[in-house]
Amino acid sequence: MFLKNLSLTNYRNYKSLSLSFDGPIQLFIGNNAQGKTNVLESIYVLALAKSHRTPRDKELIAWEADYAAIRSDVLRRYGSVRLELQLTAKGKRAKINGMEQQKLSAYVGALNVVMFAPEDLSIVKGAPAQRRRFIDMEIGQVSPTYLYYLSNYNKVLQQRNQLLKDLAMKKSHSLEMLAIWNTQLADLAVKLLKKRFEFIRKLETWAREIHTGITDGRETLSLHYENSSPVTEELAAEQAVDVMLAAYEEVRDREIMRGSTLIGPHRDDFSLKVNGMDVQTYGSQGQQRTSALSIKLAEIELIKEEVGEYPVLLLDDVLSELDEHRQTLLLETIQDRVQTFVSTTGVEGLKHQVLQQASRFYVKEGSISGER
Ligand SMILES: Nc1ncnc2c1ncn2[C@@H]1O[C@H](COP(=O)(O)OP(=O)(O)OP(=O)(O)O)[C@@H](O)[C@H]1O
């Protein structure tokens, strides 16, 4: 899929911006704090209806404005799709071809993106919550039903946690109610887990191959789903629900004591190993970076496999950080199949081949001038 154009109104430091794109690589060049990341972020927000930098949509609206809008005509395999996202302090409205989408889960997926930014190192180095967010965002991009189950899971989880707290404080004695929440939560947990197992397995297949390529066969990368419950991939859905219910029974007293749900997808994680060694704990800086890059490149292939088209790639301030060998590998993945948006402070350190294929946009204080 390709963005034919992009227009922004009151988005961060852009009052009004209108750009057209041509060719595989779009290079945004400028000094610090001029608005390069803002452009890449706006494409990410257009795709996922959420920023990768902040959970607060209000920050995306230009100061002194009361709304922001992002629009683009996206060329997909089956034709051109016009996407529009409007953000206000009260919420967001998403349109596909002029039709307002009642549910964001029906909107997300009209455009697929993969973002690679310096903070993505947190997928390897960060806390479990960051890896869970990564899994949820990535599966959500290709599976609207996953987003739907996830939002239901979180609602039921909240209610169940409230009941556990009430039971702990003896404000409630309703173990029957707990049993009802258990049934609902177990069913949703299993639905999420099935998707996550599959995602990690497929991601690993691609990431392993890519990582071997980057390291000239010296390193083998593996991914492991770290499960807080005893549900396994091999179990059929019904059996898995029974296993989950039995597990809730087993931890019940502890959960009541703590007033919160101790097992399930909201407590899970995944780990990365290089040649059998945990990268998060023992990996060198270089190994952690390469692992993060392998995962990002794997995502590109995974999305292609799932939706039949390559996503758009957003490289925020990372391309010039990669050495020649890694840039070459990245270019091989991109070729002219993956439209790529790159932000950089300068063109030094970029391979000649990248520059040759790139359209250049110069970014200064929230305005952009272009040059081919
Ligand atoms: N809501 C907003 N309204 C107006 N301006 C904003 C808003 N949010 C951020 N900015 C401005 O956007 C600029 C930052 O832009 P951006 O994050 O794109 O930087 P950048 O060009 O990628 O720089 P760097 O290379 O340092 O990452 C800052 O000048 C900041 O003041």
- Rounded distance, CA 77 to CA 361, Å? 27
What pLDDT is recorded for position 363? 96
Residue 179 in marked binding region: no
Other Cβ atoms within 10 Å of 198 Cβ, number: 13
Whether 372 shows a pLDDT value over 60: the answer reads: no
Whether 366 shows a pLDDT value over 70: the answer reads: yes
pLDDT digits (tens, 9 = 90+) for 34-57: 999 999 999 999 999 999 889 899
CA of 343, closest atom in ligand 1: 22
Supply angle C-alpha 262, 265, 267, rounded to 5. 45
Residue 145 in marked binding region: no
- Phi and psi (nearest 5°) for 140? -60, -35
Supply angle C-alpha 134, 140, 145, rounded to 5. 145
Torsion of CA 194, 196, 199, 200, to 10 degrees: -120
pLDDT digits (tens, 9 = 90+) for 149-179: 999 999 999 999 999 999 999 887 889 999 9
- What is the number of residues in the chain? 372
Residue 97 in contact with residue 109, Cβ under 8 Å?
no
pLDDT mean over 292-305: 93
Residue 370 in marked binding region: no
Top-confidence residue, 304 or 325: 304
The confidence band for 63, taking pLDDT boundaries of 50, 70 and 90, is very high
Cα dihedral sign, 310-53-326-369: positive
What pLDDT is recorded for position 218? 95
Per-residue tokens: 337? 């199949």
- Rounded distance, CA 131 to CA 71, Å? 30
- Rounded distance, CA 262 to CA 140, Å? 24
In the chain, the amino acid numbered 177 is M
pLDDT digits (tens, 9 = 90+) for 117-152: 988 889 999 999 999 999 999 999 889 899 999 999
* Ligand 1 within 6 A of CB of 35: yes
Long-range pairs of 77-83 with CB within 8 A, sequence gap ≥ 24 = 77/1, 77/308, 77/309, 80/4, 81/110, 81/111, 83/46, 83/110, 83/111
Residue 83 in contact with residue 89, Cβ under 8 Å?
no
- Rounded distance, CA 360 to CA 372, Å? 6
- Residue 341 alpha carbon to ligand 1 centre in Å: 17
Best mutation site among 11, 37, 315 for ligand 1, i.e. most ligand atoms within 8 A of its Cβ? 37
* Ligand 1 within 6 A of CB of 32: yes
Short-list 353, 311, 318, 312, CA closest to 332: 353
ipTM confidence score: 0.96
pTM: 0.89
Cα 60–chain centre separation: 18
CATH number of 1-112+310-372: 3.40.50.300
- Rounded distance, CA 30 to CA 10, Å? 20
What pLDDT is recorded for position 371? 67
Per-residue tokens: 261? 């749900």
CATH number of 120-308: 1.20.1050.90
- Rounded distance, CA 244 to CA 230, Å? 7
pLDDT mean over 96-106: 93
Per-residue tokens: 10? 């009151």
pLDDT digits (tens, 9 = 90+) for 175-212: 999 999 999 999 999 999 999 999 999 999 999 999 99
Best mutation site among 38, 43, 316 for ligand 1, i.e. most ligand atoms within 8 A of its Cβ? 38
Residue 31 in marked binding region: yes
pLDDT mean over 72-94: 96
- Residue 34 alpha carbon to ligand 1 centre in Å: 6
- Residue 73 alpha carbon to ligand 1 centre in Å: 25
Cα dihedral sign, 300-135-118-215: negative
How do 340-344 and 312-316 pair as beta strands?
Answer: parallel
Burial readout 75-103 (b: 16 or more C-beta within 10 A, e: otherwise): beeeeeebbbbbbeeeebbbbbeeeebee
CA of 365, closest atom in ligand 1: 29
pLDDT digits (tens, 9 = 90+) for 337-362: 899 999 999 888 888 888 888 999 99
Domain residue ranges of the chain, discontinuous segments joined by +: 1-112+310-372, 120-308
- Rounded distance, CA 330 to CA 25, Å? 12
pLDDT mean over 308-330: 87
Average pLDDT, the chain: 94
* Ligand 1 within 6 A of CB of 367: no
Residue 13 in marked binding region: no
